[in-house]
Chains A and B, each alone.
Chain A
């Protein structure tokens, strides 16, 4: 019995194994680990991580997903339980006319559309054509292959799968439920304004009428502006945000089609635009409702024609509402320090100066983080900035230029330490905008990073004859590939949030509106874990980097730059808004 290499199997799968080798392979008994090699190769080629149990077609696989066995396309699209014919949830293109069949078959080859139709089954996830069948009209989709997985694993591989599944075609069970899922609650009559309102909802847009003349928003739709009498209006996009204004909890339905929903809570939401809308808050128990709770719109496609705007609790805002500001530290008004359960939120609030830091603010940040570090009730900190333009653009140059030009290096008395060097609790940066110079140096000292889509990242110091001596030379090259780090350090050009994500500088890029909720989600995930383990884990990882000698080196060599003529010329040129004239000394 020949033992084939993984490479041979790979060539076999790709159809490039030379014919004699294929013949040899077919002639001999299968090598015992052939299946495993085969699956291993396939596994490396699909876009999902759940283990493949059995390939069905070149594009479809039965995979173990949690406790279920589902059919997945190589793109990751999930077709559900493997005992249900995956074709019933595929996109189907049917050729049943002479014209459409004629595109595939020519002349006498062409089957007669009177008795034959061709169906192409397409993956809704990636558009791949997965299967084609030519069948009589009206014939149900052919269930090509329902493997007896348990027997296969028991008797052929001699390693039973952990959970056993009834071996039965369940396609009809699925199809019979389709009828029950028919929506039978009252739906709007799609005529006139109502048709327009709900058509936008269908597209995922909540729009209200707004008067073109006086700007007043209105709901429900009307012909005229009751404020100014104008007939001119447009459908204007709502922010989708509002607060709970009032609600009632229906303990008993007063309409038969809602009988199964009780208790449910028809809720009035007051939108940011001022109009109120009757709706439902999804994923929320009636007793969780409170007047003033922030909510945001979501859309529920209830029928193939009607999409209802519904709302969900806006998580970040609730957390903000629940946070308790810490006043004992006497922080300046530009630094906020709030506590919410186990999470500290530290916010740089100087948006009109692009959240640039003064020495005073830098000290306040240190004090806040020291308090966070010492407070046993706090496990995770979120660091963010106010506004949607800047997260932090580094030191306030107005203040820093005189200091810099006098050769002051600003802080870091201990040359082996940098910002957050001694914080072993988790710090999540929620980067709401430009993250430049000292802003990025600070972020380099954090652990998890979420960026808004409009955020940018850069170290512009060299453009002004300076170097980012806050630890960036040591931290950045260890966090992202060398060439990217060097590009940041030497060109001074910023990169986009998307690029930062691609090179691994941030964990997630999300729309601004989801920034804080994503940060809180990460914080909550961490808080579920053992705090000692999490902290120790970070401490090991950070200390094992052994960054201290690098920090000392940075401080020592940076001194040379900071005391140079160029270091005076750069900031001066910046202040005078001209190109610097560097001498290299």
Chain B
């Protein structure tokens, strides 16, 4: 790469559940995209690269609506919720190599009001790489949806390392605490205690309802360009110090892995930290893709914040809530802010590094990470710096 790439624009719609956004998924994403482009101080016509989220629109549609007359780079990373962060890596490569000047990465959906969230579980095929395997070998037994797939992994972690429901509860509580400081968070005003968590309904043991991410409507987007071009723009650029992605093995089947806890981020994290020349100890915050509580714990372990098996103790000792030594998901994450497919994690990291996070600002935040998680454990991670 010729120098570094930066995130120069962020944009979001409002996040909501009932009664729903009232917009199409494309319209939502265009709104967020327009705000991100505006935030960067760019004209929409200057966007010449677009990286849509898998199955949520095509670059052509975005370009035609936004008026991107010079589109020359279009790609989608097929990693589900790991796609936005993985796209940062490709966007950085594209903008520093000259393949594109300004790359837009949008994501958004009507996860609450649209049919997609519920349809995913009602129809007999899934929009994931292992769809046929799931259809032929999982779904006949009612093993039909992500919380169930990951619950069996969480149970193994509990069995092998003594991880407890209380550890998962601590994550759920911390995410809610963060959300109380975020005006955009759907769960603002709805604090929970560990007792509330323990009393909440079991969904798929060991996952309770409060272990699971929200279903919401909303979209977010970022704009990436090279550091060189960023200098000419009005805002404070946030540097993509490194970004990496990886897949578990095998990636299309979740049960026959020799090492059940080795997921995409296990491969990606050493690469990202190595390239950035930093260690987990150096970061001021972590935005961890929190589809379910256990996945937060697992990614903290696999990223190297603590040894494998020690995630439960790490969360309790270090503190991941507001004021903790490692604030995780200061916006509240998928568990308490909104489910924006991981894009709002990037937006929040940028806000923290710009020092624009208001009452939830991490003091002196200079370095942070953001991860993505998708499908059967695909992973991505970016190290971002002020």
Contact = CB atoms under 8 A, between A and B. Distances in A.
A251 B255 contact: no
A250 B136 contact: no
B155 interface: yes
Interface residues of A, number: 38
B280 to A, nearest CB: 28
Given A248-B207, A254-B145, A266 B152 contact: yes
A248 B139 CA distance: 14
B253 interface: yes
A188 interface: yes
B136 to A, nearest CB: 4
A251 B137 contact: no
B149 to A, nearest CB: 8
A308 B142 contact: no
A250 B153 CA distance: 15
A575 B302 CA distance: 65
A246 B153 contact: yes
B140 A186 contact: yes
Interface string B149-160: 001110110010
Interface centre among A188, A220, A245 (most CB of B within 10 A): A220
Interface in B150-192: 151-153, 155-156, 159
Which of A253, A261, A275, A302 has its CB near the most chain B CB atoms (within 10 A)?
A: A253
A376 to B, nearest CB: 37
Given A254-B148, A255-B139, A278 B255 contact: yes
Contacts of A398: none
Contact of B141 (A218, A249, A276, A280): A280
Interface in B184-208: 201-207
Nearest to B121: A254
Interface string A503-539: 0000000000000000000000000000000000000
A185 interface: yes
B204 A250 contact: yes
B135 A251 contact: no
A266 B256 contact: no
Contacts of A261: 142
A308 B141 contact: yes
Contacts of B124: 186
B41 interface: no
A194 B140 CA distance: 13
B140 A185 contact: yes
A455 B159 CA distance: 41
Interface string A271-303: 000011111100000100001000000000010
A250 B148 contact: yes
B142 A249 contact: no
A268 B151 CA distance: 11
A266 B122 CA distance: 17
Interface string B294-335: 000000000000000000000000000000000000000000
B277 interface: no
B138 interface: yes
Nearest to A245: B156
Interface in B104-155: 121-122, 124, 132-133, 135-145, 147-148, 151-153, 155
Given A186-B124, A189-B136, A251-B205, A246 B159 contact: yes
B3 interface: no
Contacts of A6: none
A71 to B, nearest CB: 35
B250 interface: yes
A251 to B, nearest CB: 5
Given A254-B121, A255-B121, A220 B140 contact: no
A170 interface: no
Contacts of B255: 245, 268, 276-278
B136 A194 contact: yes
B142 A264 contact: yes
Interface string A194-219: 10000000000000000000000011
A275 B258 CA distance: 10
B256 A248 contact: no
A220 B142 contact: no
Interface string A240-271: 00000111111111111010010010101000
Contact of B137 (A185, A188, A264): A188
Nearest to A291: B159
A549 interface: no
A308 B142 CA distance: 12
A187 interface: yes
B152 A254 contact: no
B136 A246 contact: no
Given A246-B153, A249-B204, A254-B121, A219 B256 contact: yes
Contacts of B250: 226
Contact of A278 (B143, B159, B203, B207): B143
A363 to B, nearest CB: 43
Contact of A268 (B140, B152, B202): B152
A246 B150 CA distance: 11
A214 to B, nearest CB: 15
A306 B148 CA distance: 24
Q: Select the residue from B132, B203, B256 with max chain A CB neighbours within 10 A.
A: B256
A308 B152 contact: no
B142 A255 contact: yes
B201 A251 contact: yes
- Chain B CB count within 10 A is highest, among A252, A255, A280, A306, for A255
Given A188-B140, A261-B142, A248 B151 contact: yes
Interface in A172-190: 185-189
A220 B121 contact: no
A278 B121 contact: no
Contacts of A302: 140
B136 A266 contact: no
Nearest to B252: A220
A255 B201 CA distance: 18
A254 B150 CA distance: 14
A246 B204 CA distance: 13
Contact of A279 (B141, B147, B202, B206): B141
B141 A266 contact: yes
Contact of B142 (A188, A250, A275): A250
A14 to B, nearest CB: 54
Contacts of A264: 142
A201 to B, nearest CB: 11
Contacts of A245: 156, 255
Contacts of A280: 141-142
A402 to B, nearest CB: 55
Contact of B155 (A219, A248, A251, A275): A248
Contacts of B133: 220
A72 B163 CA distance: 57
A515 B133 CA distance: 36
Nearest to B208: A251
Contacts of B145: 254-255
Contacts of B204: 248-252, 254
A423 to B, nearest CB: 42
A484 B264 CA distance: 70
Nearest to B139: A186
Given A251-B204, A268-B255, A246 B140 contact: no
Contacts of B121: 254-255
A251 B208 CA distance: 9
Nearest to A266: B143
17 contacts: A185-B142, A189-B135, A220-B256, A246-B155, A249-B202, A249-B205, A251-B201, A251-B202, A251-B203, A252-B203, A253-B142, A255-B122, A258-B142, A261-B142, A266-B148, A268-B255, A280-B141
Interface of A: 185-189, 194, 218-220, 226, 245-256, 258, 261, 264, 266, 268, 275-280, 286, 291, 302, 306, 308
7 nearest interchain CB pairs? A248-B151, A249-B205, A254-B145, A266-B143, A188-B136, A246-B152, A186-B139
Given A189-B132, A251-B203, 7 more contacts: A220-B133, A246-B153, A247-B155, A248-B148, A252-B201, A258-B142, A266-B148
